[in-house]
Amino acid sequence: MKTLLKTTLAAGLAASFLFSAAFAQELAPLNSDTEKDRMDWSQLEAKLGPFPKLPESTKAGAVSKTLTNEYWRSLGLGYEAFGKKVGVPVAYQAAQSEGDQLGQLTIAEGMITQGYNVLLVSPQTDANLQPVIEQAKAANVPVVNVNDAVIPQAKHYVGNVQRDNGVRVAKWFIENRPQGGKVAIVEGQAGVYAAVQRTDGFKSTITQNDKFQVVASVPGNWDRQTSYDAATNILNQHPDLIGFYANNDGMALGIVEAVKAAGLAGKVAVFGTDGISDAYASIKAGELTGTVDSFPVLTGEVALETALRLVAGQRLPRVVATPQALITADNLSRYQGEGVDVRAVLMEDAKTSK
């Protein structure tokens, strides 16, 4: 049965690439990190005006990677919050796991036929939802690619600069470990845009400083146990390691446990990516060194606003970039805690970064 499913998915993807040949001539393959036709999330209202009036009975569909990861649940909360604000119902569905590519494709294809005015998708890989682009185009349903895999022919994308996640962590090591040393990377799913970019951002930045050596870069497949095992092996081989960078927080938390089990807590820095609540709790507990928060609730809000502006007929750039921030014990209280208005804080960050 597994072989049949893989064959079916492969056949569907192959067919989609044939169907998209004409479309590809119109639209260059998307690189969301470097696409020049872009706008910062903080400029939506300033450049496009107040939120527009929508057609009556507008409704949105959204398909996520999985709901087993808190990041994607939080993204859904953002969709729900903005939907309630503007009176638009949002149906949010996800695959059973981050490896269920065919299941995610089936959900997305089903939504195209269910009368939604726009579809927001967070693909498991850069290819598995490619067929949806052509099917939605034929049905006149706009599609917005929302983090973190990137469909090459996606017309609109909302998300952060994936490479910058790794860059920020590398810069922390350079600034805070001036003596240098050995570091390791635990990657996400092989070949997925976000994992590739995050890994390259970290590796290329830290190796510009000849005091650092990347001694391992291994897949963790977004999985906590897999990452624990990988980190255990790396620490056995390199007990003098000074730090890890993981492509997401679930993997980073698995690495934290491996570091503790090896008796190296406090000696080996561990960073993740995403900014889930467990990562914040671990930072507060003095275990996880930091995370690059990409603010999934706000990302969901911005993505739905972008999608609905398209429904209203507005012209938007191909990429709407959402915020990110390196969180450590030193600045955690700025972004989380009683009375913190995260949107206001990030809007201030956006102003000061210009």
Cα 122 to Cα 352: distance, rounded to the nearest angstrom:
30
Higher pLDDT: 290 or 25? It is 290
Cα 167 to Cα 248: distance, rounded to the nearest angstrom:
14
Instruction: For residue 214, give the nearest of 228, 225, 230, 199 by alpha carbon.
Output: 199
pLDDT tens by residue, 163-218? 999 999 999 999 999 999 999 999 999 999 999 999 999 999 999 999 999 999 99
Higher pLDDT: 96 or 16? It is 96
Residues sharing a CB contact under 8 Å with residue 311, sequence separation 6 or more, in sequence order: 54, 55, 58, 117, 118, 142
Predicted confidence at residue 2, as pLDDT, reads 42
- Predicted confidence (pLDDT) at residue 21 exceeds the cutoff of 70: no
| Residue with the two structure tokens 């491996």 | 258
Cα atoms in the 13 Å half-sphere on the side-chain side of 48: 22
Predicted confidence at residue 132, as pLDDT, reads 96
Q: Which tokens belong to 10? A: 């492969």
Q: What share of the chain is helix, strand, coil (3-state, %, to 5)?
A: 45, 15, 35
Number of Cβ atoms within 10 Å of the Cβ of 333: 11
Exposure string for 1-13, b = 16+ CB within 10 A, e = fewer: eeeeeeeebeeeb
Predicted confidence at residue 26, as pLDDT, reads 72
- Predicted confidence (pLDDT) at residue 1 exceeds the cutoff of 60: no
Q: Which tokens belong to 320? A: 């709407």
CA angle 66, 69, 70 (to 5 degrees): 120
56 secondary structure, DSSP code: T
| Residue with the two structure tokens 């993740």 | 272
Predicted confidence at residue 27, as pLDDT, reads 84
CA distances from 178 to 12, 172, 341 (A): 51, 10, 34
pLDDT tens by residue, 343-352? 999 999 999 8
Integer-rounded Cα Rg, in Å, for the chain is 20
Predicted confidence at residue 354, as pLDDT, reads 67
Higher pLDDT: 75 or 17? It is 75
Alpha helices, DSSP H, located in 238-295: 249-261, 277-284
- Predicted confidence (pLDDT) at residue 8 exceeds the cutoff of 80: no
| Collapsed DSSP state (helix, strand, coil) of residue 57 | coil
Task: Report residue 129's pLDDT band, with 50, 70 and 90 as the boundaries.
Answer: very high
- Predicted confidence (pLDDT) at residue 22 exceeds the cutoff of 90: no
205 secondary structure, DSSP code: H
C-alpha 15 chain-centroid distance: 27
Cα 171 to Cα 129: distance, rounded to the nearest angstrom:
34
Predicted confidence at residue 350, as pLDDT, reads 95
pLDDT tens by residue, 60-116? 999 999 999 999 999 999 999 999 999 999 999 999 999 999 999 999 999 999 999
Predicted confidence at residue 191, as pLDDT, reads 93
CB 230 within 8 A of CB 217: no
Whole-model pTM: value is: 0.91
Give the mean model confidence (pLDDT) for residues 45-73. 97
Domains, the chain: 2-10+29-159+296-322 (3.40.50.2300), 162-293+348-352 (3.40.50.2300)
Predicted confidence at residue 19, as pLDDT, reads 39
Higher pLDDT: 25 or 333? It is 333
CB 121 within 8 A of CB 307: no
Q: What is the mean pLDDT of the chain?
A: 93
Alpha helices, DSSP H, located in 95-218: 101-112, 130-138, 162-176, 193-206
